[in-house]
């Protein structure tokens, strides 16, 4: 459930959007952690605005209400045309699946209610995103490998990205992911026969900036962490067979 104070701000934002876009406005939706009542900050309240058409003039008109919305600490809204929403589930299966699972309609038509999202497309994007982030992790490891602090920062920041993608792995297996990051990681490690210990160590040391290990220990932790990520990717790849 959306926080009551934030709901007041959302209602005001929707009123501004209706005044701005008039009959061109098809719907406004809040999605993500904020919509599920698990927001940690105003940055967790994401808004999708659906218009019948989007021209540069429509976006220029949106500048005033979105400027005020952003000034209060909320992220800029995501603008889609209705046609794009109806025809993009194959392109954005991960994003649309998350929206479908964690949404609150604030105004207008709910196009996610009956949206079909293909598991084949979801699996393909999940593997693509996992492999892309693994390649990025390899690249960033090169300059980070000389410093305990840089290595820990790299592991902590990357773990959040991988944990978010792990929710898609659970969805592909017909399992309902949790909001809590480490519970998601634990469930995936059990699924693939992996070891949660490297993730737990990253969470307990690097993510909290306490008890930082020596460079040798940090290097060893990175190696174990890297292996478990590869294990998840191999599991997702085999799902295509």
- If you average pLDDT over residues 177-200, what whole number do you get? 92
Fold entry, domain 4-108 = Beta Polymerase; domain 2 (3.30.460)
Quote the pLDDT of residue 228. Answer: 98
Q: What is the CATH number of domain 119-238?
A: 1.20.120
The full set of domain ranges for the chain reads 4-108, 119-238
pLDDT at 193 over 90: yes
**211 torsion bin: left (phi>0), alpha (psi -120 to 50), beta (else):** left
In which residue are the tokens 């959306």 written? Answer: 2
Angle, vertex CA 153, rays to CA 152 and CA 158, nearest 5: 100
For 12-50, the pLDDT digits (tens) are 999 999 999 999 999 999 998 888 877 778 988 999 999
Angle, vertex CA 161, rays to CA 159 and CA 162, nearest 5: 65
For 80-119, the pLDDT digits (tens) are 999 999 999 999 999 999 899 889 999 999 999 999 999 9
Q: What is the distance between the alpha carbons of residues 145 and 78, in angstroms, rounded to a whole number?
A: 37
Percent of the chain predicted with pLDDT > 90: 80
Q: 119-238: same fold as 4-108? A: no
Q: What is the mean pLDDT of the chain?
A: 93
Whose CA is closest to 29, among 94, 75, 78? Answer: 78
Percent of the chain predicted with pLDDT > 70: 98
Quote the pLDDT of residue 23. Answer: 97
Quote the pLDDT of residue 209. Answer: 66
Say which DSSP state 194 is in.
-
Quote the pLDDT of residue 116. Answer: 92
């Amino acid at each position: 459930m959306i926080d009551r104070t934030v709901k007041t701000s959302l209602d005001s934002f929707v009123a501004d959007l209706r005044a701005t876009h008039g009959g061109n406005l098809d719907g406004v939706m809040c999605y993500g952690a904020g919509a599920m009542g698990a927001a940690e900050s105003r940055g967790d309240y994401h808004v999708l605005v659906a218009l019948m058409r989007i021209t540069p003039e429509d976006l220029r008109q949106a500048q005033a209400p979105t400027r005020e919305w952003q000034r209060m600490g909320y992220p800029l809204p995501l603008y889609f045309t209705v046609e794009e929403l109806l025809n993009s589930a194959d392109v954005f299966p991960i994003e649309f699946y998350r929206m479908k699972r964690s949404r609150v309609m604030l105004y207008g038509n709910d196009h996610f209610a009956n949206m079909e999202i293909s598991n084949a497309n979801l699996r393909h994007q999940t593997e693509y995103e996992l492999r892309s982030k693994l390649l990025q992790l390899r690249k960033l490891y090169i300059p980070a490998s000389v410093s305990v602090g840089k290595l820990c920062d790299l592991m902590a920041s990357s773990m959040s990205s991988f944990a978010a993608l792990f929710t898609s792995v659970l969805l592909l297996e017909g399992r309902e992911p949790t909001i809590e990051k480490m519970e998601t990681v634990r469930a995936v490690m059990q699924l693939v026969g992996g070891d949660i210990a490297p993730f737990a160590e990253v969470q307990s040391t690097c993510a909290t900036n306490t008890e930082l290990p020596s460079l040798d220990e940090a290097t060893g932790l990175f190696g174990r962490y890297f292996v478990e990520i590869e294990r998840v990717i191999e599991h997702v790849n085999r799902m295509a067979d």
